[in-house]
Amino acid sequence: MKKYLVSVACLVTAITVGAQEEITDPKATEKWSPVPVVVTPGEQNAPPSDAIVLLGEGEDLSMWESADGGDVKWDINDGVLTVKKKTGAIVTRNYFGDCQLHVEWRSPAQVKGDGQGRGNSGVFLMTKYEVQVLDSYNNRTYSNGQAASIYKQHIPLVNACRPPGEWQTYDIIWKAPVFCEDGEVKEPAFITVIHNGVLVQNHVEIKGTTDFIGIQTYKPHAERLPILLQDHNNPVSYRNIWIREL
Binding site for Mg ion (CB under 5 A): 120, 122, 232
The residue of the chain with the least Cβ separation from Mg ion equals 122
Kindly tell me which of 107 and 120 has the beta carbon lying closer to Mg ion. 120
Q: 129 pairs with which residues across the strands?
A: 125
Kindly tell me which of 64 and 105 has the beta carbon lying closer to Mg ion. 105
Secondary structure percentages of the chain, helix, strand, coil, to 5: 10, 30, 60
214: Cβ contacts below 8 Å, ≥ 6 apart: none
Minimum separation from the CB atom of position 135 to Mg ion (A) = 11
Contact at 8 Å (CB) between 173 and 191? yes
Minimum separation from the CB atom of position 115 to Mg ion (A) = 12
Kind and range of the H or E element at 175?
strand 168-175
Kindly tell me which of 224 and 232 has the beta carbon lying closer to Mg ion. 232
Minimum separation from the CB atom of position 89 to Mg ion (A) = 10
Integer Cα distance of 210 and 152 in angstroms: 7
Kindly tell me which of 40 and 143 has the beta carbon lying closer to Mg ion. 143
CA 45 centroid distance within chain:
17
Minimum separation from the CB atom of position 121 to Mg ion (A) = 6
